[in-house]
Amino acid sequence: MNTATTIEELRNERNQIKGIVGLVPTMGYLHPGHISLVEKARSECDYVIVSIFVNPTQFAPSEDLSSYPRDLQQDFKYLEEAGTDLVWTPTDQIMYPHGYQTWITVDQLTQPLEGQFRPEHFRGVTTIVAKLFNVVQPQCAYFGQKDAQQAAVIQRMIIDLDFPINMVVCPIIREADNLAMSSRNAYLSDAQRKAATILSKSLFAAHRLYEEGERNATVLKESISQIVQSEPLANLQYVSCADPLSLQEVDKITSGALLSMAVYIGKTRLIDNILLK
């Protein structure tokens, strides 16, 4: 497994690669959700590059940038086992040198859901992803459905800015008790970890209602809200039933919807979602 830190090192490696390059952008502290992306890339590409970069510009000052979990040694071990060809670990200084001042914004798609509570977040995400794209020049890029709005926003950026990149969105990977895997799960105490199952429990219950024929979005959201309220350690920030493309709230579900939510478990903010087809 090759490694690179600077952009020059990455480009020197990249220039020697022929065939299809797949990029898996991550913030490290890798879990089986990330590894599923690497495995998907491995199955589709000639050369798999994983970037590890905790991108400061997608965290608000109030958020958890400084405490975000990191374990590069373990990450490298997992990535080597998964058949990664190259790991790129740039520094803040490399990605945002002195005088940095260029930003990419996606207008409408970033407003609802996460955007209501993390107004600068997606600007940081789209900017860093575009930079990763321009350095790595992959033909394919892999993202998780766990961050459903992020996937929609990045897909929009790829289309709008004409990046010649095929975006692949991979399913959420869950723990045995259905908690969606997330690096932030590491923040949870034992009691909080148990309480955190309330996200998937409530989503799956709403999914059952949908499969039984319920198409009223308010009913589904009320169901989720009530189940989350039954958990004393959980604090629902939002629940949404939105059009999967526009991310605008729907009243009645006619052709699929994205059910999504953010919940505080103590100080830890968790998100989860499920696609109603």
Which residue, 51 or 182, has its beta carbon nearer to its own copies? 51
* Residue 261 near residue 202, CB atoms below 8 Å: yes
| Member of 8, 100, 230, 252 binding its own copies (CB under 8 A) | 100
| Member of 24, 86, 130, 227 binding its own copies (CB under 8 A) | 130
| Member of 36, 137, 183, 240 binding its own copies (CB under 8 A) | 137
CA 42 – CA 23 distance, rounded (Å): 10
Classified as helix, coil or strand, 264 is strand
Span near its own copies by CB under 8 A; candidates 49-57, 75-83, 129-137, 263-271: 129-137
Hunting for tokens 């830190």 — which residue is that? 5
Let me know if 207 is a catalytic residue. Answer: no
Span near its own copies by CB under 8 A; candidates 27-35, 96-104, 185-193, 259-267: 96-104
Q: Which of 78, 90, 85 is nearest to 18 (CA)?
A: 85
Residue 241, beta-bridge partner list: 259
Residue 121 as a binder of its own copies (CB under 8 A): the answer is: no
CB of 57 to its own copies, least distance (A): 12
Amino acid at 187: Y
* Residue 51 near residue 23, CB atoms below 8 Å: yes
CA 75 – CA 225 distance, rounded (Å): 36
| Member of 35, 49, 86, 106 binding its own copies (CB under 8 A) | 106
* Residue 150 near residue 125, CB atoms below 8 Å: yes
| Member of 162, 176, 213, 254 binding its own copies (CB under 8 A) | 162
Q: Which of 248, 259, 252 is nearest to 110 (CA)?
A: 248
CB of 122 to its own copies, least distance (A): 11
User: What residues are annotated to the active site?
Assistant: 34
The residues that touch its own copies, with contacts defined as CB under 8 A, are 7, 11, 99-109, 126-127, 130-131, 134-135, 137, 156-157, 160-164
